[in-house]
């Protein structure tokens, strides 16, 4: 009698070995390369709240107004590369009187920016007509695999980074994320030429000082992807007479301007989809493949060793 390996045992052994090789390949090679900032992004996030703003038609600050902040982010695929992402950002601030704004120039405030970041680490990359020059770790998103620590968040109005400390977890539309909070104390950010009487000066024209503060920044971030699912800010922009320590004119002031419910739902859906995909590549499939591969390899190896008994040749024949 002789022993031979059955086709089934060889198939099981081969599939098992393949799955054992596939598991670490997915976890250590494919999944890390899937953690890349997207290039073809095109999203709009909307903040709403109440506050005060300076009405240039009435030449005075209007209190208790409805305020809307609209931010559009578009990826510049042509200028992006495998290593860095280029995003063009447009942000407008409007009271009800300028909504809907047919032209962003009609808004109370309108800014454009060009962000360039490392697709893997989220670190700033200073190239490709970046505007403004920025630093920090967190901007329009946080890095992948967010940690429970303080992050340096770039505040474009301040023109500097702001420390946002980890403040526990919070659910947004039923989705749990990591919560980060911080404030910005009143800081001089520039000058603006205005009529002297506007800031209490006898001069016809003065270079009034622009001051900025933030009552509170709150960001809720998806742990795995770094996507911001909820954002709340409290901007305050004022003018001061040169050398004065008191605000003379309030340009913009709100205790709370936050993501609308519709924006929250969109951000949560995107974060959930991206997070699930990364979890599938980095955990679910590798663990399942490793477990199944180990089982199939064991069964296949056992069947190969055991073999299948078949009669053949003169093996074991009696001597003449």
CA 61 to chain centre: 35
Q: Are 45 and 267 in contact (CB under 8 A)?
A: yes
Query: Distance (Å, rounded) from C-alpha 12 to C-alpha 1?
Result: 24
Q: How many CB atoms lie within 10 A of CB 53?
A: 22
pLDDT value at residue 264: 97
Q: What is the pLDDT of residues 94-120, one digit of tens each?
A: 998 888 766 777 788 899 999 999 999
> Going by C-beta distance under 8 Å and a sequence separation of 6 or more, which residues neighbour residue 297?
12, 13, 16, 17, 20
Segment 169-174 mean pLDDT: 97
Segment 291-305 mean pLDDT: 60
pLDDT value at residue 26: 45
Q: Tokens 């200073």 map to which residue?
A: 126
Q: Are 237 and 251 in contact (CB under 8 A)?
A: yes
Using alpha carbons, list the distances in angstroms from residue 305 to 69, 118, 298, 299.
70, 52, 11, 10
CA 202 to chain centre: 48
Query: Distance (Å, rounded) from C-alpha 209 to C-alpha 198?
Result: 12
pLDDT greater than 60 at residue 284: no
- In 3D, which of 136, 140, 39, 141 has the Cα closest to residue 86? 39
Query: Distance (Å, rounded) from C-alpha 295 to C-alpha 286?
Result: 14
- In 3D, which of 144, 164, 80 has the Cα closest to residue 117? 80
Query: Distance (Å, rounded) from C-alpha 287 to C-alpha 144?
Result: 21
Exposure class string for 222-239: b at 16+ Cβ within 10 A, else e: bbbbbbbbbbbbbbbbbb
Using alpha carbons, list the distances in angstroms from residue 196 to 67, 251, 253.
28, 16, 22
pLDDT band at 239 (very low <50, low <70, confident <90, very high): very high
pLDDT band at 143 (very low <50, low <70, confident <90, very high): very high
DSSP state of 214: E
Where does residue 110 rank: exposed (0-12), middle (13-18), buried (19+ CB within 10 A)?
middle
Query: Distance (Å, rounded) from C-alpha 95 to C-alpha 63?
Result: 11
pLDDT greater than 70 at residue 187: yes
Q: How many CB atoms lie within 10 A of CB 255?
A: 14
pLDDT value at residue 6: 65
Q: Residue ranges per domain, the chain?
A: 2-29+278-310, 30-277
Q: Are 297 and 17 in contact (CB under 8 A)?
A: yes
């Amino acid at each position: 009698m002789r022993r031979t390996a059955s086709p089934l045992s060889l198939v099981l052994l081969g599939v098992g070995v393949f799955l054992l090789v596939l598991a670490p390949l997915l976890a250590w090679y494919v999944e890390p390369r899937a953690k890349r900032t997207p290039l073809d992004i095109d999203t709009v996030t909307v903040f709403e709240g109440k506050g005060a703003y300076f009405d240039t038609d009435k030449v005075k600050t209007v209190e208790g107004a409805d305020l809307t902040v609209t931010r559009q982010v578009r990826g510049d695929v042509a200028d992006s590369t495998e290593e860095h992402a280029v995003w063009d950002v447009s942000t407008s601030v409007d009271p009800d009187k300028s909504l809907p704004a047919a032209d962003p120039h009609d808004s109370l405030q309108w800014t454009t920016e060009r962000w360039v970041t490392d697709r893997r680490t989220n670190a700033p990359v200073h190239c490709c007509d970046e505007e403004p020059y920025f630093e920090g770790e967190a901007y329009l998103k946080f890095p992948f695999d967010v940690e429970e620590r303080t992050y340096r968040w770039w505040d474009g109005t301040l023109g500097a980074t702001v420390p946002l400390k980890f403040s526990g977890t919070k659910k947004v539309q039923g989705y749990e994320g990591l919560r980060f909070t911080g404030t910005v104390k009143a800081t001089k950010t520039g000058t603006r030429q205005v009529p002297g009487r506007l800031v209490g000066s006898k001069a016809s024209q003065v270079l009034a000082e622009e001051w900025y503060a933030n009552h509170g920044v709150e960001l809720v971030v998806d742990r795995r992807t770094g996507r911001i699912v909820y954002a709340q800010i409290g901007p305050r922009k004022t003018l001061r007479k040169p050398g004065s320590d008191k605000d003379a004119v309030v340009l913009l002031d709100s205790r709370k301007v936050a993501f609308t419910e519709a924006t929250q739902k969109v951000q949560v859906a995107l974060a959930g989809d991206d997070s699930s995909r990364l979890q599938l590549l980095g955990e679910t499939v590798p663990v399942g493949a490793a477990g199944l591969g180990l089982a199939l390899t064991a069964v296949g190896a056992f069947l190969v060793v055991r073999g299948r008994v078949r009669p053949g040749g003169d093996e074991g024949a009696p001597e003449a």
